[in-house]
Amino acid sequence: MADKISITICGDGGCGKSSITIRLVRSQWTHEYDPTIEDSYSVTRTVDGLPYFLSITDTAGQEEYRGLWTSSSLQSDAFLLVYDITNPTTLNALDHFIDLIGLEADQRLEDNEHLRKDLGDQAGPGLGLPPPVMIVAGNKCDLKDGRAVSSREGLEYARKHGCGFMETSAREMVNIEETFARRSDLSSVSPFSVFRSLRPCITTGTGTGRWGRTP
């Protein structure tokens, strides 16, 4: 049976979150902007010969819909934080989502600690929920003439918040189709291993961020 991995894609409106999702799930490109409240998709990928069932949630970016974020979205194994390289305000808008994910990460640590105390000597390794994996993605990297956020700025933002970093283009299939082409051995936790297989144009090194290892 395939392991299930949940991924939430978040970011400001108009960044191309839905385009990335549809490229990954259906291998299709859509340029029409239709604001999403919340859509769910599923797809199976094989990594190193092992099947993984991916549950992907494409969330609302518009400020008026952000209150609709459900607790189930925050309980995802991994988060793809998308901004538009032609619009600097969309990078700063990620602060809101990172704060929410940070609260969820802190709650997981607290819950895991309570669980360890309750189980005592019976508590084994890998107890409870692992910290969520986060990767910042600068989308629309094919629009070179319109670039307003440099790769360095995106990288520094990711480092500041303990995230991995990459740049994507749903239009040109940059870091979309290859998303699950290889598996990293940086973590024994399968959600990290599979989500980490996103091939970044630039990585943040091999340090450990607040909510998990950076690539």
Tens of pLDDT, residue by residue over 194-203, are: 554 444 444 3
The answer to whether 163 touches 176, Cβ cutoff 8 Å, is: no
- Confidence at residue 212, expressed as pLDDT on a 0 to 100 scale: 32
Q: Average pLDDT over the chain, rounded to whole?
A: 74
Residue 169 CB neighbours (<10 A): 21
Model confidence, pTM: 0.76
- Confidence at residue 153, expressed as pLDDT on a 0 to 100 scale: 96
Which of 193 and 110 is assigned the larger pLDDT? 110
Q: Which of 77, 109, 100, 212 is nearest to 158 (CA)?
A: 212
Q: Which of 166, 177, 159, 160 is nearest to 141 (CA)?
A: 166
**Which residue bears the tokens 């894609």?**
9
Which of 82 and 44 is assigned the larger pLDDT? 82
Whole-angstrom Cα distance, residue 159 to residue 1? 36
pLDDT digits (tens, 9 = 90+) for 106-164: 999 998 888 888 887 777 776 778 888 888 999 999 999 999 999 999 999 999 998 88
User: What token pair was written down for 137?
Assistant: 């993605």
Write out the H or E segment, with its range, that includes residue 47. strand 38-47
Which CATH architecture describes the domain 3-117+128-206?
A: 3-Layer(aba) Sandwich (3.40)
Whole-angstrom Cα distance, residue 196 to residue 168? 14
User: What token pair was written down for 63?
Assistant: 């400020």
At 31, the pLDDT band (50, 70, 90 cuts) reads: low
Of 37-41, 130-134, 170-174, give the range with the top mean pLDDT: 130-134
Which sequence spans correspond to the domains of the chain?
A: 3-117+128-206
